[in-house]
Chains A and B, each alone.
Chain A
Amino acid sequence: MLSLWSATADAFRLLLSGDPGLWEIVGISFGVSLKALICATIPAFVCAFALAFGRFPGRRLVIALFNTLLAVPAVVIGLTVYLCLSRSGPFGELRLLFTQGAMIIGQFLMAFPVLVALGHTALQSADVRAWETARTLGASRFKAARTLMYEVRFGLMAAFVVAFGRIIAEVGSALMVGGNILHSTRNITTAIALETSKGDFAQGIALGLVLLSLSLVLNISLIWLQGRGSLRT
């Protein structure tokens, strides 16, 4: 108990003293996860849109598939990416293994099903008449789709936040394909794993606190946005 308190106190000291090593790790985590999410968002929402409003054979099967992918453990995605990028794998020539690029690919694959599944749910709740009205008023398909997405923007934002929460907190794939290399692929979660294995709990707790406060800020801003949205309607 005593060591938990003293480690937490040390953690706050580290955070407040602006320890450059610590903040570099935080920066890497954010950079990688944001890049992965930005790459995934638009294709995933287009996919969700097609699943919500398109009518094609096997649609339900695809929806079930994406819902299943939500449960795939990060290490399995990590292993798949590792085997693909390894020098003996199909994309070995790219020499991406143990770089931030590899981590982005892993997190992209993890965020994609979350965005599709939650985006699909959000879009389903939209009023189809908005789409029909927009179309009869002469809007192009693209414009009508944009109107509809705007209608359910809070649902989509929630999908975005949940996906971000999943990938910034994952450790299995980041450790496997990133390699936990200092100044390059060491992010918050792999650093926590390492510091714990070294017995340096203060650094681990400090990084954990950063993760927690970040997700708190994200969720509060989401709720605040939703509150403002519901006031207007």
Chain B
Amino acid sequence: MNCSWLWRICCGFAGVVLLAGGIVSADPLRLAATTSIEDSGLLAKVLLGFTEETGVEIQAIAVGTGKALELGEAGDVDVVLVHAPALERAFVEAGHGVDHRAVMYNDFVIVGPNSDPAGIRGQTNAVEALARLAKERATFVSRGDESGTHLKERELWKTASMLPHGRWYREAGQGMGRILQMAEELDAYTLADRGTWLAMKSRLSNLSIAVEGDSRLFNRYGVIAVNPAKYAGIGYPMAKRFIDWLTSPNAQRLIGDFTVDGEVLFHPTTQDLP
């Protein structure tokens, strides 16, 4: 008698475990998105929108573009949302990813102290402005973390045919929000994506935009599904669904409607711009 009770309890317990396992294995989609999307608050909105429309949970981690692509390459995530067109193309060409689509864009700005010690405010040529910062040895804080923003910065220095180094050039290796805080504290210039800048500027009373509007400061975000042929466990169907949704009119409208303090942070686009 006792034995059969025990048996039933065991069966019940096993049933619960199996059921729970079944629920958990309705795998959530694993997404690696860049910190700029997270810091600005867009990521939370996108996740909510997708889950509302499809009922699928997303586990998102916010990391730099370099790390996001590494995670994709290692099969640790199903889909990546990043901003470094050259790296993205290399990622797809190496066979790590499929279904590469553009999602939205914004641009980078060079921000600096209100007092503008290097006198670059109002310039529209980002490369000349950087060259001037180097010449004046004005303090500049660099991301230094292989993020999309850092890659863009290096590209600009390269265009200016310069290799910045010295005490004025502080390579800090942290996320965009922290770098902006450092620039605020150090009276320094830095390159920031407009999204993070707009989201944080109310707390950065010492900083303002010095240079904007150069086409070389363009910042395009792309989404790539991790190649299901490489790893068995990749949730490709869901990743594909996420990409289709992100490029659908509904999601594009959601991105375009996202504002912080009345300012639009990201412009939706499905065109792969230069």
Contact = CB atoms under 8 A, between A and B. Distances in A.
Please say whether chains A and B are actual partners in one complex.
Answer: yes
Contacts of A175: 174
B171 A198 contact: no
Interface in A52-100: 86-87, 97-98
Contacts of B71: 199
Interface residues of A, number: 19
A197 B63 contact: yes
B186 A98 contact: yes
Interface in A162-196: 175, 179-184, 186, 190-191, 194
A179 B174 contact: yes
Interface residues of B, number: 21
Contacts of B228: none
B172 A181 contact: yes
A97 B172 CA distance: 13
A82 B63 CA distance: 24
A181 B70 contact: no
Contact of B185 (A86, A180, A182): A86
Interface in B136-167: 144-146
B240 interface: no
Interface of B: 63-64, 66-67, 70-71, 74, 144-146, 170-174, 178, 182, 184-186, 206
A191 B182 CA distance: 17
22 contacts: A87-B184, A87-B185, A87-B206, A97-B186, A98-B170, A98-B182, A98-B185, A98-B186, A175-B174, A179-B178, A181-B172, A182-B171, A182-B173, A190-B173, A194-B144, A194-B174, A198-B64, A198-B66, A198-B67, A199-B70, A199-B71, A199-B146
B148 to A, nearest CB: 13
Nearest to A3: B74
B182 A179 contact: yes
Given A97-B185, A98-B186, A198-B146, A186 B173 contact: yes
A181 B185 contact: no
A199 B182 contact: no
Given A179-B172, A181-B171, A194-B173, A199 B185 contact: no
Contacts of B70: 199
Nearest to B142: A182
Contacts of B178: 179
Given A184-B170, A190-B173, A197 B145 contact: yes
Contacts of B185: 86-87, 97-98
A106 to B, nearest CB: 15
Nearest to B165: A183
Given A87-B185, A98-B186, A197 B64 contact: yes
Nearest to B188: A98
Interface in A103-153: none
B230 to A, nearest CB: 14
Contacts of A98: 170, 182, 185-186
Interface in A186-214: 186, 190-191, 194, 197-199
A180 B63 CA distance: 17
What are the 5 A-B residue pairs with the smallest beta carbon separation, nearest first? A199-B70, A182-B171, A194-B173, A180-B173, A198-B146
A197 to B, nearest CB: 5
A199 B174 contact: no
A197 B172 CA distance: 13
A96 to B, nearest CB: 10
Nearest to B73: A199
A10 B206 CA distance: 43
A97 B186 CA distance: 8
Given A198-B145, A199-B70, 17 more contacts: A87-B184, A98-B170, A98-B186, A179-B170, A179-B172, A179-B174, A179-B182, A180-B174, A182-B144, A182-B171, A182-B173, A184-B170, A197-B63, A197-B67, A198-B67, A199-B66, A199-B67
